[in-house]
Amino acid sequence: MKAAVVQGLGQAPVYADFAAPTPAAGERLIRVTAAALSQLAKSRASGSHYSSENRFPFVAGVDGVGRLEDGTRAYFIQPRAPYGAFAEQTVAPAAQCLPLPDDLDDVTAAAIANPGMSSWAALTERARIKAGETVLINGATGASGRLAVQIAKHLGAKRVVATGRNPEVLAALTALGADATLSLLADEAALNASFEREFSSGVDIVIDYLWGASARQLLIAAARSAPQGVPIRFIQVGSMGGSELALPSAVLRSSAIELMGSGINSVPGARLFAAIASVLQATRAAGFQIAAEVAPLSEVELRWKTEDASRRLVFTAGS
């Protein structure tokens, strides 16, 4: 079969032949129809993610959509190594194959599952969101952040504040549910003033897709301006703005900030899978929107380094 094969550490996948899988007991054979390129898929393929196994060769891709042996359309996650989602076929545990709603097409399901899970799990499993709370999404102009705005509203947030660098996408977020938008392109003094104004008015939850400089500014502003003793659940999800930050220790001692992460191993796998199921079931009824671009799997080498945070690239197998 054809697949996106990673031959060695630090190498991008190549479109090549790979032995077709045979399902073991408790597994399902899947004919893949669509699989989205995500930061998780990229970092695991490169060996830089904490969950990377680095046993070569292997097929890239952590999740996707396909047909089971009986023809059922299903979403699947975490295929059994060395198989992955970017292939004509793969195998995954039956417990990690989820039948798709009839009204949800393959490309949308593949595009929305991972980013939808990131905010759904962060809000429900880690932040324990309650109706009527205020949520600030840091890095809301990427595909995941835009979806987080919509999911926060769907889960009962009364007010959603969105930050980002792309002015056109930031302006469009009001139509998706954002009540206020803050440009990260503003100078440091103006941005600090905006952050402090929001925290003094009351922010219950921060969902952070960036880390780095903007997360540091947010944490310091929260410590300075949030009502004394009122908890702020700061949930770290992504690191597009940097993998590290230097944070004054007084920020945590002088505030009621609850700093935690949301991702693989911070939430039990079964609960992450349940979050994906919830997203897929809610997508059509809630009108969730996600921009997606479709490309044949044969273009994986050409498109692997595609960097367009505002839309999801979905590979379709057998093309």
Amino acid at 94: A
Please state the rounded mean pLDDT for residues 275-299: 95
Residue 177 is assigned to a structural domain of this protein: yes
Residue 53 has pLDDT above 70, yes or no: no
In this structure, are 119 and 95 located in the same domain? no
Residue 308 CB neighbour total at 10 angstroms: 11
Residue 121 CA to residue 216 CA, distance in Å, equals 23
**Separation of CA 126 from chain center:** 15
Q: Are residues 119 and 77 in the same domain?
A: no
Indicate if the pLDDT at residue 111 is higher than 50: yes
Helix runs in the chain, H state only:
39-46, 106-121, 143-154, 167-172, 188-201, 212-225, 250-253, 269-286, 300-303
**Does residue 276 sit within a domain?**
no
Question: Residue 228: which domain range?
Answer: 114-261
**Which pLDDT does position 263 carry in this prediction?**
87
Q: What confidence tier does 56 reach under pLDDT thresholds 50, 70, 90?
A: confident
Shared-domain flag, residues 81 and 130: no
pLDDT band at 319 (very low <50, low <70, confident <90, very high): very low
Pairing relationship of beta strands 292-296 and 312-316 according to DSSP bridges = parallel
pLDDT at position 45: 74
User: Could you tell me which residues are beta bridge partners of residue 84?
Assistant: none
Do 236 and 143 belong to one domain? yes
Q: Which of left, alpha, beta for 99 (phi over 0: left; psi -120 to 50: alpha)?
A: beta
Say yes or no: 119 and 224 in one domain. yes
7 conformational bin, left if phi > 0, alpha if psi -120 to 50, beta if neither: alpha
| Domain CATH for 66 | 3.90.180.10
Tell me, yes or no, whether 83 lies in a domain. Answer: yes
Assess whether pLDDT exceeds 60 at residue 262: yes
- Among residues 136, 162, 5, 148, which one has the least CA distance to residue 82? 5
Residues 146 and 85 in one domain: no
Question: Based on the domain organization, do 246 and 148 belong to the same domain?
Answer: yes
**57-72 per-residue burial string, b: 16 or more CB within 10 A, e: under 16:** ebbbbbbbbbebeeee
* Residue type, position 203, single letter: V
Within-domain flag for 270: no
Of 98-102, 200-204, 306-310, the least confident:
306-310
Q: Is residue 283 part of a domain?
A: no
96 has a pLDDT exceeding 90: yes
Mean of pLDDT values over 287-296:
95
Q: How confident is the model over 37-55, as a mean pLDDT? A: 68
Supply the CATH number for residue 118's domain. Answer: 3.40.50.720
pLDDT tens track for 13-24: 999 999 999 999
Task: Note whether 251 and 118 are same-domain residues.
Answer: yes
Q: Which residue has the tokens 């009502």?
A: 227
Check whether residue 294 and residue 254 sit in a common domain.
no
The total number of structural domains that make up the chain: 2
Q: Predicted confidence band at 12 (pLDDT cuts at 50, 70, 90)?
A: confident
Residue 143 lies in a domain: yes
- Tell me if 269 is assigned to some domain: no
42 and 139 share a domain?
no
> Is residue 245 located within the same domain as residue 125?
yes
Asked if residue 80 is part of any domain, the answer here is: yes
Asked if residue 138 and residue 91 are part of one domain, the reply reads no
What mean pLDDT is reported for the chain? 93
Lowest mean pLDDT among 6-15, 47-56, 163-172, 218-227: 47-56
Least confident of 28-37, 50-59, 242-251, 301-310: 50-59
pLDDT in tens, 24-44: 999 999 999 999 998 777 876
What integer pLDDT is reported at residue 189 of this predicted model? 96
